[in-house]
Copies of this chain bind each other. A is one copy, B any other.
Amino acid sequence: MGQNLIFTNHVQEAINRLAGSDGHNLTVWIADVNTARYAPAEAHVITIPDGDENKTLSTACHLWDEMERMGVTRHSLIINLGGGMVTDLGGWAAATFKRGVRFINVPTTLLGAVDAAVGGKTGFNYNGLKNEIGAFAPASDVIISTRYFDTLPVQEMKSGFAEVIKHAMLSDREELLRLLDHDFNAPIDHDDLLERLQHSVQVKADIVARDPNEQGERKALNLGHTVGHAFESLAIHRGHPVPHGYAVAWGLVTEAVLSHMLLKFPSEDVHRLGNFVRDNYRYFPFTCDDYDDLLALMRHDKKSRDGEITCTLLAAIADYRIDQTVLPDNVTAALDILRDHLGM
């Protein structure tokens, strides 16, 4: 994989150093309508619309066409400046143009920084299915910065923070407890947050380096996501989408409960996590009438096999077990406990 991670709030300096190192004939930035303003004034910028509904083949074609028009070659450099949609689509377009142009990711959201920008997953939605077409193609470098976060809505910060919590659950109880003290109402402490990000992103990068193509261990990063994706899809079907990280937060609690039921994950940690999620992620209104739909969605998860529901579970913080089969009865029991805990 060999993805170079740079943690800094001096982004342009870092880019200049990287871009100057390899005699590129042209540097092109890819941004969305919100992030294009962060590119330097004299930069060549391709701007795409924002919103998951535009994460499509048609937007990818627009990127290819513009790269062609600007004269991008195999010796050029692409800089993806934006959230997960920009790094997913821009990474895809760069990785497939002339079979691969070097690209750097500069995530501008917390969720992008701790999730999409690192690890080489690129692609787009197709035929109504999320990330159905794509490639494993790592950015040569990822520049992680908190400088774009001051203007992010708190909901966006919370959404990304759920993935930060996930990484701590996979690696370090002390870090997890520190995170569960976080106050979203306080102004951002950039030095501290950059340190938290350094810890968090490294957890992901280490796991990805050992299993770039998701044959085994990388599934650990799926913690909270089997159940979380089901919440996310149900919300979409209802016409009231929820932020990805909120669904993940509820998924993390549900899977922590499952971990307690099946692998004796300590109930103390279930409660700490549950309290933080209750206090910061307003609950998702569902009843036992939704259980069948949720179970069906879990069975159709991209990572499931033969119609069984599989999760990554924890025997303890940092002690993860991939490919755990859970029975529908386990799941419904865990959902009951989640609803209790969130006070539904």
Contact = CB atoms under 8 A, between A and B. Distances in A.
Interface of A: 25, 57, 61, 64-65, 68, 74-75, 95-100, 121, 123, 126-127, 129, 131-137, 213-214, 302-303, 305-306
Contact of A123 (B68, B74, B99, B132): B99
Nearest to A302: B98
A128 to B, nearest CB: 10
Given A57-B61, A64-B126, A96-B123, A74 B135 contact: no
Contact of A95 (B61, B135, B302): B135
Q: Is chain A's binding surface mostly helix, strand, loop or mixed?
A: mixed
B132 A135 contact: no
A74 B302 contact: yes
A136 B25 contact: no
Contacts of A135: 95-96, 99-100, 135, 137
A303 B121 CA distance: 27
B305 A134 contact: no
A72 B205 CA distance: 29
A77 to B, nearest CB: 15
Q: Which of A95, A99, A133 has the most CB of B within 10 A?
A: A99
B134 A99 contact: yes
14 contacts: A64-B126, A65-B127, A68-B132, A74-B302, A96-B123, A97-B132, A97-B133, A98-B134, A99-B121, A99-B131, A99-B134, A99-B214, A100-B136, A100-B213
